[in-house]
């Protein structure tokens, strides 16, 4: 069985993915925070990916990396810089030094969030980030391209929509990415032999999708779920939002300066200063 490192394993996406991949791979799970539950198939390693020494330690001896670790919403630049810019570089570079060839980078719909909702876009569009968070994901995609071309690594970038079993509002009807579809796309990213550098969209087969995801389908992705099942109930409950945010695929990220972080740092580390 292949050994797969999942960074950011304590987050919502990491938690879904760990459950879906249990028994299929040997999972090395890592986060700065503690995990609520560690399964017998997993080995937990605490790490701060903004420190290169930690990144080198957790990436040694694995077959592939799913790099979920980072700041997951719009917020202060320092937090995004440390987690999503420095942390991403450290993980990619540590993987290179340790001879790990394959990295799955869950980028985000917010890398293209300033495209309008009446547009359909594919993996070849020019990035239009909607936030500092979105900019950090564009950085990760560019870094992945560099490591593929310069070092011959295999980089699989997934522009994630919203990972959930059920969409929570109208916008998520276009972005739903169910846990089983997530697991399928991640498995393709781990196993497909022909990957060098790819960008795909991490969404289910939603009728209201804003994405031409033919690049993922080319690689064998066959999503099982469609948010339309929930559309009538959600639209009945939907209330008007910010008129600017409603125009763009990124939603509130296009207007917000700070969104509460669903995965804040532990208090004892939150005030840590970088040397």
pTM over 0.75: yes
| Strands in 70-126 per DSSP E | 102-108
Q: What is the mean pLDDT of each run of 10 residues along the chain (275 residues)?
A: 96 96 96 87 94 98 97 92 97 98 98 98 98 98 98 98 97 98 98 97 98 98 98 95 96 90 56 38
- Please give the full DSSP string across 153-193, using - where no structure is assigned: -EEEEEEE-EE-SS--SHHHHHHEE-HHHHHHHHHHHHH-T
3-258, superfamily in CATH? Answer: NAD(P)-binding Rossmann-like Domain (3.40.50.720)
Active site residues: 133
């Amino acid at each position: 069985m292949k050994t797969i490192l999942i960074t950011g394993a304590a987050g919502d996406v990491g938690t879904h993915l760990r459950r879906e991949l249990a028994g299929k791979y040997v999972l090395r799970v890592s986060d700065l925070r503690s995990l609520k539950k560690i399964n017998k198939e997993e080995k937990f390693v605490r790490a701060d990916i903004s420190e290169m020494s930690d990144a080198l330690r957790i990436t040694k001896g694995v077959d592939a990396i799913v790099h979920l670790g980072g700041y997951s919403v719009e917020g202060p630049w320092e937090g995004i810089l440390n987690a999503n810019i420095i942390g991403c570089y450290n993980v990619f570079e540590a993987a290179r030094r340790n001879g790990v060839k394959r990295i799955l980078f869950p980028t985000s719909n917010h890398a293209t969030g300033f495209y309008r909702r009446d547009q359909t876009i594919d993996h070849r569009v020019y990035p239009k980030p909607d936030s500092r968070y979105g900019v950090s994901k564009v950085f990760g995609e560019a870094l992945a391209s560099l490591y593929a071309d310069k070092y011959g690594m295999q980089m699989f970038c997934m522009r994630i929509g919203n990972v959930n079993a059920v969409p929570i509002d109208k916008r998520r009807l276009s972005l739903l990415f169910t846990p089983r579809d997530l697991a399928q796309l991640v498995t393709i990213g781990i196993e497909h032999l022909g990957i060098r550098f790819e960008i795909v969209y991490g969404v289910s087969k939603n009728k209201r999708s804003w994405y031409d995801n033919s690049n993922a389908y080319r690689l064998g992705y066959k999503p099982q779920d469609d948010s339309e099942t929930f559309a009538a109930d959600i639209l009945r409950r939907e209330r008007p939002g910010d008129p600017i945010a409603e125009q763009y695929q990124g939603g509130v990220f296009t207007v917000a300066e700070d969104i509460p972080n669903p995965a804040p740092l532990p208090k004892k580390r939150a005030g840590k200063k970088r040397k």
